[in-house]
Amino acid sequence: MHYELLYIIPAKYSEKELQPVINQVIPLIKKAGGEILRDDNLGRKKLAYP
């Protein structure tokens, strides 16, 4: 099976605070048996709904 995951981190986090959040998500994926093939940071985007 092949799954894709996109997670959104709230804008209240500064650039410095992002890495610890990302470092929490990656082990969760691996613990569930997932494999990270690609890791893209899409940057800050304005969403249609806050």
Quick: pLDDT tens for 17-38. Answer: 999 999 999 999 999 999 999 9
pLDDT, tens digit (0-9, with 9 covering 90-100), for 1-19: 789 999 999 989 998 999 9
20 in a structural domain: yes
Q: Name which residue leads in pLDDT, 40 or 49.
A: 40
User: What is the SS3 assignment for 16?
Assistant: helix
The number of folded domains in the chain is: 1
* DSSP code for 13: S
- The single-letter DSSP state of residue 48 is S
What pLDDT sits at residue 49? 79
pLDDT at 28: 96
- Size (the chain), residues: 50
| Residue 50 counted as domain residue | no
The whole-model pTM stands at 0.72
Q: 35: domain range? A: 1-43
Q: How far are the Cα atoms of 20, 40, 46 from residue 26, in angstroms, in the given order?
A: 10, 13, 24
Q: Is residue 48 part of a domain?
A: no
Q: Return the H-helix or E-strand segment holding 30.
A: helix 15-31
* 19 part of a folded domain: yes
pLDDT of residue 2: 86
